[in-house]
Structure 1
């Protein structure tokens, strides 16, 4: 197979029902996906099987949450959780040191605290989520949605493994039995409320794959290898899938983890989205997959950002990301880990 970059002004659309079709349809789908992964890193996903009724409910309850009185939201402010779970006001998360103008609620795998030690600092990420007493229906709904997008993420990973010439379960050994399941419900206030056009600054996602649900207001942009920015507006009935740094590491850059950002919506408007980040187990180490020779020629190497090094140790990589993004939580609960931010890959 010949791999070559193709100019792109819009994202491709991938019908995932083909992956669950006949053997011939699945084979053709996997071959098409190989080129998408190499050329784009981002694509629209249809045929995903998530009921529209659940999508509508999640967006509706997200809007209800953000409309709560500030005191109800601050009752579960993230700085109260050493596990980086909870609510953040606009400007309280940072990308590359600059404020992101969005308010959000972060949840991850529901669990109990786990003892950590010098060799397992990432165990601090395990623990319970914070849920608002003022909106009891939020917890069961978001956990049901989290389970659905986890299913999508793992199915997409199986398809990606086949597209890379690997067994379907090639990545299972580094996500089973407990992948990271970070879910964010997000509201971007209009520019009149922020004075900044940085909804989220330019970055790559750190996990395996991201499953993004957009409401109706655009703002997401993706940067191509040539440095041009393309817009990814909402398309009803779709998710946007993008590959993260773990796949770039595992494939020596054959799979792209594209830089992207979100532009603050115009004055008088707001933007809602729900982002799910499927990652590996915190105690896993990312291997380099031996790609077939036809694909190996398409390896581009792992991109290096001196301001944000990435590590093959999943727990260190994720912990470093959370410490950087949430300096208030880091200072309150993890001052001993701040030297990690100076560590080189």
Structure 2
């Protein structure tokens, strides 16, 4: 595979306004329409900050099994915490990665029989006592990435020729944020599914990679690699943006191939969606854009919902069957 198969966009052009901003929007429109993936530079987050997050990831995964299991996700009805190697499924197959998930830090709601099931997602994160510096660093990083994605969401509104506040009601109380530290161990076997082929369910995803390749994107020319570009995030469009634009914007299949034996890959993925109680708008596109909208490419076995909480919970239940069985058995029985 050749290197840098994806467009590289410089967000400093957006901040510069004027003609520079228009040039950025033109580039964003092409990347979002044709590929659904791009590198983002000029975002204002330093290489030192990025390296610090990856170093914390390395420290977390170096903790003992007992220390990691003390914050295992199965203990959390809110899908927060540590997932062992092979503990998450994509397309029904086990992913060969271990990970640590956090979301918005919130107080759990009192469960009542009439509340929507997705409200059980709201709650606190789990944090390892053996690595106390992790909590403040990750919560600050998550907020910085959340702010960055809100800026990008405004840019996408302009690409779609909508008012700047087209998505504002869906993130007015803060977007739904989901971040994970991920470790992919090397393998010498034929089972090299670091993460199986999938689309992301939210508005936008930002991926911070270390120096090891593995992320691949499905294009019209087949699978291409998203090789690490120092200082850049890999950004991809999620299904909610595809849904809101009636398929004008493209949510793209992607996967991660495990590194070879003796090598590990570390990354930090940040997923931004509308707040859980929001309903994704179906935007009224101008005629020239509407004519190019293909409709959202929903998988018949995994339908999309405009209600965000339902979408998020559906994905969590499919991916983490141990948490689903322990905390959502009544839903599984109904489904």
User: Could you say whether these structures have the same fold, taking a TM-score greater than 0.5 normalized by the shorter chain as the test?
Assistant: yes
After superposition, the Cα gap between the structure-2 partners of 1:197 and 1:166, relative to the gap in structure 1 and judged at 3 Å, is same
Q: Deviation string for 1:51-100 (max 9, x for gaps)?
A: 22211111111101100111000000000111000000010000111000
2:229 equivalent in structure 1: 235
1:144 paired to 2:140: yes
Residue equivalent to 1:101: 96
Aligned residue runs from structure 1 range 48-127, under 5 A: 48-116=43-111, 117-127=113-123
Q: C-alpha separation between the residues in 1 aligned to 2:105 and 2:191? A: 34
Q: Contact (CA 8 Å) 2:46, 2:231: kept in 1 or not?
A: no
- Contact 1:115-1:123 within 8 A present in 2 as well: no
Q: For 1:152-171, what per-residue CA distance to the aligned partner results, in whole angstroms no more than 9, with x for missing partners?
A: 11111111111110111211
1:264: Cα distance to partner?
A: 0.7
| Deviation of 1:179 (Å) | 1.5
Contact 2:217–2:226 (CA under 8 A) maintained in structure 1: yes
Distance 1:227 1:216, change over 3 A: same
Structure 1 counterpart of 2:154: 158
Match of 2:164 in 1: 168
Distance in 2 between residues matched to 1:33 and 1:339, nearest whole Å: 44
Q: Output aligned runs, 1:1-345, within 5 Å.
A: 10-116=5-111, 117-192=113-188, 196-224=191-219, 226=220, 228-338=222-332, 342=335
Separation in structure 2 between the aligned mates of residue 61 and residue 296 of structure 1, nearest angstrom: 45
Per-residue deviation, 1:292: 1.4
- Superposed CA RMSD in Å reads 1.5
- Deviation, 1:114, is 1.6
Q: Which moved more, 1:304-313 or 1:13-22?
A: 304-313
**Count of aligned residue pairs for this structure pair:** 332
Aligned-partner Cα distance in 2 for 1:284–1:21: 32
| Aligned mates of 2:174, 2:329 — CA distance in 1 | 27
- Report the CA distance shift for 1:339/1:160 in structure 2 as closer, same or farther (over 3 A): farther
Unpaired stretches in structure 2, ≥5 consecutive residues: none
CA distance in 2, matches of 1:9, 1:92: 31
Residue 295 of structure 1 deviates from its aligned partner by 1.3
Moved over 3 A (4+): 115-119
